[in-house]
Amino acid sequence: MRDLLNGHNKTKLIIIIAAAVALLAAIYCVLNYFERYGEVEDVTGDGFAKTVPDITYEGETYSYKGRLKNIAILGVDDKDIANEKNGVSYMGGRTDMIFLVSIDYANRTVTPIQITRDAMVEYAPMDSSGNRLGSDYESITFAYSYGDGGRISANNTKEALSNLLYGTPITDCFSIQVDGVAPLNDAVGGVTVTVEDDFSNIDPSLTQGATVTLTGTQAAEFVRSRTGVGDETNEERMSRHRTYLTSFMDTLRPKLEEDRTLISTLLDGISEYSYSSMSAATIASIINNTADFEVKDIITPTGTTVEDKTGHNWHLVELDDEQLKKIIVNTFYEKVEE
């Protein structure tokens, strides 16, 4: 058994997955380093992680839920933004948005968790050839950049996210680049939002306070832009992510009722911009088997800003350790009854 205290710290699923994909197309520790007590095995046959050890939390014993599928959904910014490590530049892009969608098949629920790109985490990324670059402690957004812009990059972020979440197994990953937002947004006829921030420096047509049906280009600016918009913080942009997500869901819902093939159309439209560890058949199976599951409210862990000692003046956040522990226990574990 491992002790968590000593470690690092109602819509249908078909709609939440499609909405997350659309949002991700546009946008994309040591936090008291978590020591693993045994390896986690991903079983390719059923997709559920096994051999996850029990934990203790506040004096109680908890077991990992047996039928969870945890899918990392990543929105990736431009590949022409380089990141450097050991004197070498890497061009895989950076994740501007990170969601973990936890599907609980036993309890028939879905829990979306939104992680800030600025969250600090310890991990050892791989380069584009799959070679380990050594352990580092930095914001999770960089994990994607060290790889190949596809599978290796996604696995880097998946591994970093697992480390951040106390070794929680991540069973699958889906990543998509920013260029996919326009076709997705326009495929549903545009998404209507109320513009709460001042976009005048970016797009004068996005007037603060106005209700606008976004075109593809406007949608990309709405969810991606940060510099010159509002208070320019990532937290404010994350709020816009959730606003767009909710509006996209409302737009998509009646269209899905009319055309069940729309999901396939959306996925086909972003195939050149995306990577998925899941086949199209697997995604279809997830949607079909979980269509009536309860979708929980989006959870967004918070934290405190820490000093950037690299000289780049990046915004860095250490997530609240106790809050994160509680989220992990409540989402992925169940108490062992004596």
CATH number at residue 134: 3.30.420.590
Select the more confidently predicted residue: 160 or 292.
160
The Cα 306–Cα 3 span in angstroms is 27
Range of the domain at 130: 2-179+276-335
The mean of the pLDDT values for the chain is 80
Burial 2-29 (b: 16+ CB within 10 A, else e): bebeebbbebbbbbbbbbbbbbbbbbbb
H/E stretch holding 23:
helix 13-26
86 domain residue, yes or no: yes
- Phi, psi at residue 204, to the nearest 5°? -60, -20
As a whole number of Å, the end-to-end CA separation of the chain is 16
Considering the domain boundaries, does residue 32 fall inside one? yes
- Answer yes or no: is 248 within a domain: no
How many C-beta neighbours within 10 Å does residue 92 have? 28
**Residue of 80 and 88 predicted with greater confidence:** 88
- For residue 55, the model assigns a pLDDT of 92
Mean pLDDT of all residues in 129-137 = 89
**What is the number of structural domains in the chain?**
1
| Domain-embedded: residue 233 | no
What is the band of 26 on the pLDDT scale with cuts at 50, 70, 90?
Answer: very low
Under DSSP, the state recorded for 126 is B
Quote the DSSP letter at residue 37. S
Worst-scoring range by mean pLDDT, 46-55, 69-78, 184-193, 299-308? 46-55
pLDDT band at 43 (very low <50, low <70, confident <90, very high): very low
* 1 vs 208 pLDDT, higher one: 208
Instruction: Give residue 109's pLDDT band: very low, low, confident or very high (50, 70, 90).
Output: very high
Burial class (CB in 10 A: 0-12, 13-18, 19+), 51: exposed
Whether residue 174 contacts residue 168, with contact meaning beta carbons closer than 8 Å, is answered with no
In a domain, 237, yes or no: no
- pLDDT at residue 3 above 80? no
pLDDT at 33 over 60: no
Q: Which residue has the tokens 């920013």?
A: 178
- What is this structure's pTM? 0.80
Length, in residues, of the chain: 338
Average pLDDT of the segment spanning 285-300:
83
Query: Is 205 within the bounds of a domain?
Result: no
Q: Give the pLDDT confidence of 223-248 residue by residue, as tens digits.
A: 888 888 888 888 888 888 888 877 88
Assigned domain for 30 exists: yes
Find how far residue 288's CA is from the centre of its chain: 22
Instruction: State the average pLDDT over residues 291-316.
Output: 84
**258 in a domain, yes or no?**
no
The residues facing 63 across adjacent strands are 334
Residue 18 clears pLDDT 70, i.e. is over it: no
